[in-house]
Amino acid sequence: MSCYICGYPSVLKCRQCGRSVCGRHFNYDDGKCVECHDKQYEVVNKPKIVQEVKPAVAPEVKPFIAPEKKVAKKPRK
């Protein structure tokens, strides 16, 4: 069987809806899948918050150039 959320192989079943879920999408405290667990705490007629996501701007990174090391020459014998 596979998780109905992500498709990962699973053996756990939700106590409320009976669908199989993987360990990442299962709440071990109450034995429910993440969706059923979230539904019990969902407030009716709660307006959904929409956040505007701005694209990330990566800083310009210059390559590190090591300074030249001065090496003392050994005197010839």
Using a cut of 0.85, tell me whether the model's pTM lies above it: no
Task: Please give the Cα distance from 39 to 44 (Å, whole number).
Answer: 10
Pairing of strands 32-33, 20-21: unpaired
Over range 68-74, report the average pLDDT: 70
**Token pair 């709440």 is at which residue?**
27
Task: Please give the Cα distance from 7 to 59 (Å, whole number).
Answer: 36
Annotated domain spans of the chain: 1-43
pLDDT in tens, 8-59: 888 899 999 899 999 888 988 889 998 888 887 776 666 677 677 776 776 7
Q: Show the tokens assigned to 73.
A: 């020459």
